[in-house]
Amino acid sequence: MTDLSTSLFGKKIKNPFVLASGVLGVTKASLETVAENGAGAVTTKSLSLEPRKGHENPIIVETECGMLNAVGYSNPGIEDGIAEFSDWERTEPLIMSIVGKDEKEFTLLASKIEENKEQLNCTAIEIALSCPHTPGFGVMAGQADPKAAERITTAVRKETSLPIIVKLSPSVPGEVEAAKLAQKAGASAINMGNSLGPGMKIDINRGKPVLGFKMGGMSGPALKPIAIRCVYDIYEAVKIPIIGTGGVNDGQDAIEMMMAGASFVGVGTALYFRGPDAFKKIESEMRAWLKERSYKKASEIIGVAHE
Amino acid sequence: MVLRMSETFSPNIPIQTARVAKVSTESEKVKTLELNTRLVCQPGQFLMVWVPGVGERPISIANNDPLTISIANVGKMSGELHKLKPGSLLSFRGPLGNGFKVHEGWKRILVVGGGYGVAPLYFLAKMATSNKIKTFAVVGAKTAKEIVYEDKLYLVTKETFVTTDDGSKGAKGTVMLEVERLMTTAGHKPDAVFACGPERMMLAIARECLKHEIPCQLSLERYMKCGLGVCGSCDLGGKTVCRDGPVFDALEALGLGDFGTFKRDASGKKVPI
């Protein structure tokens, strides 16, 4: 049987699949369910300093090529977030995702997690620089630009000894440079990446944009080829591992992402298309494909597209 | 089912737009909208109803043919829905979630509605009665003018009992008064109980059913955003109310951490029930 297990920042994990931030992850119980349902590691919904209600509904709409969402970083704030996710007991690593308006906010958030890291029992901090639809954050605040990514990563690195994952955007030019500068600033891994866009869906019967925020980030099939290309380019530029996130819906998508250079594969929207046990389905599909071709370990395919 | 967009090129759950055919007033707070369409759906499933520029909210289905919803005027979004007239457009996604399940062999069921929670139970009672299941109903509210759907339920049940907290209609007390009586009365003990209403009421019903070893299903509510089981907003002890629910078996609900004690606001912050 092909071995899918790998290691994330020194922790053995059963497979390379990571629940992407923003999908479920409001509660510890939901992350436990996702881990139970097959994820190798899980990421919380992003936490900000203050509670945020997020954008008005609709926050999501299906399109002919994937999902468009504008959740708007709804979260109860870092204090409640730490209380919520504390005492993580499962073996699947817990990744704490944070979002700030500037490096000062990121610094404060990282220091709060650092102070509580034993209580949380978390494995890494993910700094999301790349949401395409929330004013003051991510792409709309210029955080996915190379210089900003370097500045924020440097600031967070000073606050914590935890591994830092820097989540970049597939729609901001300079993503390779951003990944290089994040690595230089002390990032432990790159997550490429966030949703694409922003895009818009107009309901023609009502003649109005559907999303409450009008525009949102595109995920699912439309995102996949772009995420693959971004991962491919970043793999050539950095030594730290890459979490390839974007449009992975089945085992073959995950294999493609790893061949592009991802050591880990982020999964999000597939939980809608494939259901709550998407991780188990993706895992068994990947295993079957690799077994048929006599691979002993999934890690053998990482970056083979470059050879 | 593997849903690959490459094979379908169309949304699985598209937004549909229909016209309002009829508006009726149920109480000071509740209006019912009948649409000029029908929907293949199960009692207990819901719609995400969209008012462009205002919002989108989950609303349970009160009838499938014609598609009917009842709306309590409790905020901006429901206020907009109350302004709709015959001919107005109404947009929605659905049906969403899992509905009530009536198992084979159940010959007598009891539906229990609190306030405007009764709407999906009317749909259930109508379907059950048409399948020759003896259906009884208990509806309760604080006061007589908040009792809705009573007249409709009379038409689709064997008997419908009313309770009000202040005794202004039916028996004085909560629905539990009638529920407990029916469970212990020969010829009335139900094979299953279905409930929708305030969570404290449903908690009491769940416990009572457990005591009497009667199967029970509850239609639960949490702050809902995506309606598709991905945003996590409506989490209840690791389950999504929108996709795993909204109807849960009472035994499962009793095992879900927050049931009867906490809900969450739009930010995900815990709020006591």
Domain ranges, ordered by start, for chain A: 6-306
Strand partners, A129: none
For residue A271, what is the nearest residue in chain B, using CA coordinates? Answer: B230
Residue B6 in this model has a pLDDT that exceeds 70: no
Alpha-carbon separation of residue B132 from B106, B128, B135, B145, B187 (angstroms): 10, 6, 9, 31, 16
CA distance B30 to B24: 9
ipTM for the complex? Answer: 0.94
Which range, of A294-298, B18-22, B35-39, B186-190, averages the lowest pLDDT? Answer: B186-190
Encoded tokens for A307: 């050879």
Give the mean pLDDT of B60-71: 97
User: Over 80: is that where the pLDDT of A226 sits?
Assistant: yes
Q: Which residues of B touch A62 (CB under 8 A)?
A: 11-14
Per-residue pLDDT at A136: 93
State the pLDDT at residue B5: 47
pLDDT at B2: 53
Contacts of B157 (CB under 8 A, 6+ apart): B111, B125, B129, B135, B136, B137
In chain A, whose CA is at the least distance from the CA of B2?
Answer: A274
Chain B contacts of A225, Cβ < 8 Å? none
Q: Which of residues 171-230 of B touch A (CB under 8 A)?
A: 225-230
**Closest-approach residue (CA) in chain B for A32:** B238
pLDDT at B231 over 50: yes
Residue with tokens 């302004």: B83
Domain topology for B108-272: Rossmann fold (3.40.50)
The contacts of residue B101 (CB under 8 Å, 6+ apart) are B217, B247
Name the closest residue on chain B to residue A253, using Cα atoms.
B4
Say if B9 is an interface residue toward chain A (CB within 8 Å).
yes
pLDDT recorded at residue A307: 85
Q: Is the pLDDT of residue B131 over 90?
A: yes
pLDDT tens for residues A86-132? 999 999 999 999 999 999 999 999 999 999 999 999 999 999 999 99
Q: What is the mean pLDDT of residues B129-150?
A: 96
Chain B residues with beta carbon closer than 8 angstroms to that of A274: 2-3
Beta carbons of B52 and A206 less than 8 Å apart: yes
Q: Give contacts of B264 with chain A, Cβ < 8 Å.
A: 26-27, 76
d(CA B122, CA B108): 15
Q: What are the beta bridge partners of residue B272?
A: B262
Among B225, B238, B269, the residue with its CB nearest the CB of A80 is B269
CB pairs under 8 A between A and B: 146
The angle subtended at Cα B112 by Cα B110 and Cα B114, nearest 5°, is 175
A221–B269 CB contact, under 8 Å: no
Q: Which of A19, A57, A68, A79 is the best mutation test for B, with the most CBs of B within 10 A?
A: A57
Which pLDDT score is estimated for B8? 56
Provide the token pair at A193: 């990446």
CB A193 within 8 A of CB A167: yes
pLDDT of the residue at B237: 95
List Cα–Cα distances, B222 to A4, A32, A152, B15, in angstroms: 37, 19, 36, 22
Per-residue pLDDT tens over the stretch B163-215: 999 999 999 999 999 999 999 998 889 999 999 999 999 999 999 999 999 99
Confidence at B7, pLDDT banded by 50, 70, 90 = low
A131 is catalytic: yes
Q: Is the pLDDT of residue A74 over 50?
A: yes
Looking at 3.30.1490.20, 3.20.20.70, 3.10.20.440, 3.40.50.300, the CATH number of the domain A6-306 comes to 3.20.20.70
CA distance A31 to chain B (A): 7
Q: What is the pLDDT of residue B3?
A: 54
How many CA within 13 A on the CB side of residue B189? Answer: 10
| Mean pLDDT for the stretch of residues A174-184 | 97
pTM (two decimals): 0.95
Put simply, the answer to whether B230 touches A206 (Cβ < 8 Å) is: no
The total of other beta-carbon atoms located within 10 Å of residue A291's CB is: 12
* Beta strands B247-249; B239-240: pairing state: unpaired
Q: What is the pLDDT of residues A127-167, one digit of tens each?
A: 999 999 999 999 999 999 999 999 999 999 999 999 999 99
Residues of A in contact with B228 (CB under 8 A): 60, 272
The domain at B12-96 falls in which architecture? Beta Barrel (2.40)
Do the chains contact at B240 and A30, CB–CB below 8 Å?
yes
Mean pLDDT, all residues of chain A: 97
Q: What tokens does B207 get?
A: 């416990």
Lowest mean pLDDT among A226-230, A297-301, B185-189: B185-189
Domain limits of chain B? Answer: 12-96, 108-272
Instruction: Indicate the residue type of B193.
Output: V
Contact B91 A205 (CB under 8 A): yes
Distance, in angstroms, between B33 CA and closest chain A CA?
19
Q: In this predicted structure, what is the pLDDT of residue A304?
A: 98
